Amino acid sequence: MLLCRRQQLLKPQLLNPTNLFLRRYGVPPAVLNSDPRLDKTVQVTNSRGVNIIHDPLLSKGTAFSIAERERLSIRGLVPPRCQEMDKQLLRVKRNLDDCRTPLAKFVFLAALQDRNETLFYKLIINHLDELAGIIYTPTVGLACLRSHAIYRRSRGMYFSTQDRGSMSAMVYNWPHEEVDVIVVTDGSRVLGLGDLGCNGMQIPIGKLSLYVAAGGIRPRAVLPVVLDVGTNNQSLLNDPLYMGMGHPRIEGEEYYSFVDEWVTAVKSRWPNALIQFEDFKYPHAYNLLNKYRNSMTCFNDDIQSTSAITLAGLLAGLKARGMKQEDLDQERIICCGSGSAGVGVVEGIVDCMVAQGRVKSREEAYSRVWMMDQHGLLGNPQLSAEAGHIAPSNGKRAALDELQRCYVKKDLPDGLTLEEVVERVKPTAILGLTGVRGVFTEKAIRTMAKYTEKPLVFPLSNPDTHAECTAEEAFKWTDGRAIFASGSPFEDVPLPNGRIGRTNQCNNSYSFPGLGLGITVSRANRVTSSMFMETARTIADMASPSQLKEGILFPGVANLRDVSLAVGTRVCEVAYEEGVATANLKEGEVLSEVVKNSMYTPEYVPLVHYTKY
């Protein structure tokens, strides 16, 4: 039954409309020839009539030409005047501006995406700076919290505990044959908002919207997925509108075999698709990454691409202070948060220090980083006992895993507070990956600024309400000297002396779209560690000297497409250098051009109806 449906689907293709093609596909040349856009490519579809209007990947709203209306049987089904995209953009932007709240804008944009993806992406790309904060953090966080209340229409695929044993059939319910990128979450740690169960679906949708808008992946080749393994969020379980499974999360072997069934199903239909694991709680995030990274094309966004952009921030931060990128080992870095993102980030920093060759060993690199969790510093329990304290590791804290143990400081008492650690360590950089507002206290930041001329203050948690401190606080507590980067966007801060405290957004949205682009174009069969380090280096080199002088570390969000092109090209090169690329390059092809030309741009192309008899 499912296979029959699959066979019925004709893969829409972009083809050159030569006469031969027209004859082969039986489209009356007279109709096609009257289309003024025949010099462009055409898109062939087996849909017609109202189905075209209701298909967001095909619909053009009022922009169907008269010839198209004729040949697609939609004459009379749309208003008479053909309006090109510029008029449509004017209308949707006005409507968007009329929305009073960010959440209302989110709902409006989601509805537009569900009606007409071409127009949606054109609008997003034209106003990336303004709209990234709606379709992505911070507003997407609010949308996740309220997802069960604002739900309008389904997007993506849900695999739940009631689907065990059926997943390899279910994947054929997805209507598109080609899938390049899948973003999957189990909703267990959505941004800094905790367990939101299947409401977490807004995250894969938002990430994939950036894959398309910034990374140039084709809209029909992306698939957002939620694995609904239950939720431990009691208020969602109690809410009659909640749409997910109404039981607590499955754990242990049951959980891992559920994910395994899903992975097997997805790989059976789309063996080459890139899978991005997103917002899985610790330690599932690491366990899944370690289980699959060596056998398929996948990565964990929170662990690996967060590491890339944070490393980029530190490398650019060195240059902003007149140092060299190779001076990374000179930094003293406190990382608040030793979960998925925190450990991923510090591992990336250590990898880079080792690669730069200024430290003699990995152990020496560890000594430049101090890790904290909610119980304080990962330190030496024996020293706590000597100081008369009960160390958190003595009951309060779950046992540290292998990676976390590398960062334990033998010379400092376990469980020291941030203020105490800052006083002893005199850090040059402080990273926040806790998901907790207020972790960067005034005392800690002021003490840091006492010892460091230009402290790097990076409250990286999302959404903005969960950032460890605000931009205003960071600049106030450092007398305007901080170099500031946050996970969610903050406005620049006017300083008393007429200067402006520049803010940077340090979010994995700078890295994953380009990574996906490079991996897709090269058809890499593995995602390698070097891809992340090279992503960091590429982004770290993008700010101009004058921007760096002002404390600007990265190009603005409006330039995400350029960033993704640069990252995509470098990742593609790495894929060929490391022998994991499977796409054949033609003699004389320039990689940057290949990557650039492969990027999707939202334009209407003439539609041609064709049914295979």
Ligand X SMILES: NC(=O)C1=CN([C@@H]2O[C@H](COP(=O)(O)OP(=O)(O)OC[C@H]3O[C@@H](n4cnc5c(N)ncnc54)[C@H](OP(=O)(O)O)[C@@H]3O)[C@@H](O)[C@H]2O)C=CC1
Which residues are known catalytic residues?
136, 207
372 lines the binding site for ligand X (CB under 6 A): yes
Amino acid at 368: R
**Closer to ligand PYR at the Cβ: 22 or 182?**
182
Write the burial class of residue 497 (CB in 10 Å: 0-12 exposed, 13-18 middle, 19+ buried).
exposed
CB of 437 to ligand X, least distance (A): 10
143 lines the binding site for ligand X (CB under 6 A): no
CB of 432 to ligand X, least distance (A): 8
C-alpha pair distances (Å), 222 with each of 181, 320, 380, 507, 580: 5, 37, 47, 21, 22
Q: Is 279 a known ligand-binding residue?
A: yes
CB of 279 to ligand PYR, least distance (A): 5
Write out the two tokens for 45.
Answer: 């579809």
Query: Footprint of ligand X on residues 411-440 (CB under 6 A)?
Result: 433-436, 439
Q: Is 462 a known ligand-binding residue?
A: yes
When CB distances are held under 5 to 8 angstroms depending on the partner's kind, the choice from Mg ion, ligand PYR, ligand X, none that residue 269 binds is none
The site that binds Mg ion (CB under 5 A) totals a number of residues, namely 2
Return residues touching ligand PYR (CB under 6 A).
Answer: 137, 191, 279, 301-302, 462, 487, 507-508
Distance (Å, whole) CA 214 – CA 38: 28
Q: Write the CB contacts of 605 (distance below 8 Å, at least 6 apart in sequence).
A: 14, 37, 40, 41, 42, 43
Q: What is the widest separation between alpha-carbon atoms in the chain?
A: 91
487 lines the binding site for ligand X (CB under 6 A): yes
Task: Work out whether strand 14-15 and strand 157-160 pair parallel, antiparallel, or are unpaired.
Answer: unpaired
| One-character DSSP codes across 209-262 | HHHHHTT---GGGEEEEEEE-----HHHHH-TT--S-SSPPP-HHHHHHHHHHH
Q: Which of 59, 113, 233, 461 is the binder for ligand X (CB under 6 A)?
A: 461
186 lines the binding site for Mg ion (CB under 5 A): no
Q: What is the 3-state secondary structure (H, E, C) of 318-372?
A: HHHCCCCHHHHHHCCEEEECCCHHHHHHHHHHHHHHHHHCCCCCHHHHHCCEEEE
Write out the two tokens for 464.
Answer: 């903005």
The SS3 of residue 172 is: helix
338 lines the binding site for ligand X (CB under 6 A): yes
342 lines the binding site for ligand X (CB under 6 A): yes
Query: Footprint of ligand X on residues 183-202 (CB under 6 A)?
Result: 189, 191-192
**Closer to Mg ion at the Cβ: 210 or 521?**
210
172 lines the binding site for ligand X (CB under 6 A): no
> How big is the CA angle at 266 (ends 264 and 267), to the nearest 5 degrees?
65
**Closer to ligand X at the Cβ: 219 or 487?**
487
**Closer to ligand X at the Cβ: 88 or 434?**
434
Q: Is 492 a known ligand-binding residue?
A: no
When CB distances are held under 5 to 8 angstroms depending on the partner's kind, the choice from ligand X, Mg ion, ligand PYR, none that residue 352 binds is none
Q: Give me the residue whose beta carbon is nearest to ligand PYR.
A: 462
Q: Which of 117, 180, 195, 302 is the binder for Mg ion (CB under 5 A)?
A: 302
When CB distances are held under 5 to 8 angstroms depending on the partner's kind, the choice from Mg ion, ligand PYR, ligand X, none that residue 375 binds is ligand X
CB of 567 to ligand PYR, least distance (A): 16
Residue with tokens 């709203």: 61
Strand residues in 378-447 grouped as ranges (E): 379-380, 409-413, 429-432
Distance (Å, whole) CA 306 – CA 312: 10
Closest alpha carbon to 525 in 270, 291, 273, 276: 273
The SS3 of residue 402 is: helix
Q: Is 51 a known ligand-binding residue?
A: no
Q: Is 550 a known ligand-binding residue?
A: no
Stretch that binds ligand X, among 178-186, 460-468, 475-483, 550-558 (CB under 6 A): 460-468
Q: Which of 35, 117, 261, 279 is the binder for Mg ion (CB under 5 A)?
A: 279
Q: Is 189 a known ligand-binding residue?
A: yes
Interface ranges with ligand X (CB under 6 A): 189, 191-192, 281-282, 302, 306, 336-342, 372-375, 433-436, 439, 460-462, 466, 487, 506-508
Task: Extract the annotated binding site for a divalent metal cation.
Answer: 278-279, 302
